[in-house]
Structure 1
């Protein structure tokens, strides 16, 4: 388990490379949900998502030989952008492997930052290619199976704990689980009674299926939300979630995309479906916990174009 001391050390290490993003109350969402809502605006982070934290933490931990050899990462979008941009900042050669389903904009950004981008037919194939490059001497910057990356993502939780009034329920999206693992480690240490809720989309249910199976299992991926589409979680993130998280809520792709629109309308913020999924999940959490809840929503990123959101909405039959 990653300790809060490790996360505090990561926060000191990456402080000059990431943004301390705002934590603000949302009158619009509070009215919509009939409960006080606080938002962590991580889509304002450098690279447009929380992934900059873990990428910076890992790259800053490399020794000279590892920096010279370079790094490799697999991503459905945001991790690739973060590794590419942080590697450019730190003068480290980076290769990022992305499934062909990844957003074209993410591929463009990673390439423009100077990374070598390789495309694979599937997420599973991308991870296989990453392992091959590991054997050639590149250091893997894994999106979730690395305690250094988990500690880096957990720095978001430190800021939330310091900047928000005490919350009863905090919702965090899950792909591979590094973000929720780090955030839960902090918040459960600072606020022992807080409930942490994970959120996944149907067709990207790696953590909820792991919890049902008693450990990580391969899952079939079909969600449009590529940034949540991990083919399995790791033992590391499973251990954190099973110990620290109250439950994982699964919503549909349509609900996640509608959540993007509703956040724009009611909270006046632009996000991606990986963050939009928190809004329908919040309604379900409130039904379960009843009155007196004070919600925190970790809006993890905003690397989706309006055109993409409109196209998803049309495909899913949303108005």
Structure 2
């Protein structure tokens, strides 16, 4: 199994530059003096999430004669929008399969980019996407289980290393593991003294359990993982992403639903950022588990900001 390298990520950065915003590092005046914090606001991307990096890179790497036949993706929402957006940029058709629990705001945004959207029960999203890919002769772009997707997501880590080379800790949301795999490759290559720590909901803590065991856990069903409000963090790592995590990730922090719900309005009021629950988990970890984190300069990746207005209103009122 070939793991992604820093050379892969540097090459990806050049390919995605026309479509991806180089997000800034935002200092947080409310952070601790011994653990100063910067936010990496990937919610500011054109599709509201970091997923545009991996999706655009994967499409850019396809031979033109293959890409013109179209692409298929399955997703909980943000990868769906990213593939639809990238396909529109390349002028090729996109078919997207999403769970029937996907927030309406994400489905509507995906359709707004011209994609054909299919909603299915969560356990069927991958099999339906593979069927449609075979039926239509289109290329399947998975949300994380692909070296080109991981390399694209790794550009987040590349930017962090370039903008804050003395970073000590990088907090990254964990679901399928594509983002933390790519970020860890970049950070460990360029900032070898830094620690990469994943953050996931306690109600979907399969990655933490897997790392403790040294092998992927099979005890977390889709129904169990679906309990968390963080709808973008309900997937489980693949063999490919788990191989990256096992080699490069220093640990995982699990945060409660109450912590996640509180982090969303905290970001609105204190950093003027709208983050979806999945994107706010890193800040939830910093606010509630900072004593478990190493001292020194810390970056929290805010991975996305696509949430229903009704949910945002509810969380702001709590």
Tell me, yes or no, whether TM beats 0.5. yes
Q: Hey, what does 2:299 align to over in structure 1?
A: 296
Q: Hey, what does 1:173 align to over in structure 2?
A: 173
Name which of 228, 250, 257 aligns with 1:223. 228
**Contact 1:286/1:293 (CA < 8 Å) preserved in 2?**
no
Shift of 1:56: 0.5
Shift of 1:255: 1.3
Q: Hey, what does 1:54 align to over in structure 2?
A: 54
The DSSP-based 3-state class of the residue aligned with 1:185 is: helix
Is residue 248 of structure 1 aligned with residue 247 of structure 2?
no
**Contact 2:104/2:308 (CA < 8 Å) preserved in 1?**
no
Name which of 13, 21, 24 aligns with 2:23. 21
TM-score (norm 1): 0.92
**Contact 2:4/2:182 (CA < 8 Å) preserved in 1?**
yes
Gaps of 5+ in 1: none
With over 3 angstroms needed to count, the CA separation of the structure-2 counterparts of 1:284 and 1:188, relative to structure 1, is farther
The DSSP-based 3-state class of the residue aligned with 2:47 is: helix
Is residue 127 of structure 1 aligned with residue 126 of structure 2?
yes
Cα distance in 2 for partners of 1:131, 1:95 equals 11
**Contact 1:38/1:164 (CA < 8 Å) preserved in 2?**
no
The DSSP-based 3-state class of the residue aligned with 1:95 is: strand
**Contact 1:22/1:42 (CA < 8 Å) preserved in 2?**
no
CA RMSD of aligned residues (A): 1.8
Deviations 1:228-247 (A, max 9, x none): 111x2111110111111111
With over 3 angstroms needed to count, the CA separation of the structure-2 counterparts of 1:306 and 1:269, relative to structure 1, is same
**Contact 2:57/2:152 (CA < 8 Å) preserved in 1?**
yes
Shift of 1:280: 2.5
Shift of 1:203: 2.8
Q: Hey, what does 1:4 align to over in structure 2?
A: 6
Q: Hey, what does 1:71 align to over in structure 2?
A: 71
Shift of 1:285: 4.8
Gaps of 5+ in 2: none
TM-score (norm 2): 0.92
Shift of 1:84: 0.6
Q: Hey, what does 1:272 align to over in structure 2?
A: 276
The DSSP-based 3-state class of the residue aligned with 2:107 is: helix
**Contact 2:34/2:296 (CA < 8 Å) preserved in 1?**
no
Of stretches 33-42 and 182-191 in structure 1, the one that deviates more from structure 2 is 33-42
The DSSP-based 3-state class of the residue aligned with 2:119 is: strand
Shift of 1:275: 1.8
Of stretches 75-84 and 219-228 in structure 1, the one that deviates more from structure 2 is 219-228
Shift of 1:179: 0.5
Cα distance in 2 for partners of 1:305, 1:244 equals 34
**Contact 1:174/1:200 (CA < 8 Å) preserved in 2?**
yes
Cα distance in 2 for partners of 1:280, 1:47 equals 23
**Contact 2:169/2:194 (CA < 8 Å) preserved in 1?**
yes
Cα distance in 2 for partners of 1:68, 1:209 equals 41
With over 3 angstroms needed to count, the CA separation of the structure-2 counterparts of 1:226 and 1:111, relative to structure 1, is same
Shift of 1:42: 1.2
Of stretches 48-57 and 63-72 in structure 1, the one that deviates more from structure 2 is 63-72
Q: Hey, what does 1:195 align to over in structure 2?
A: 195
Cα distance in 1 for partners of 2:202, 2:95 equals 30
Q: Hey, what does 1:185 align to over in structure 2?
A: 185
**1:141-180 matched pairs, under 5 angstroms:** 141-180=141-180
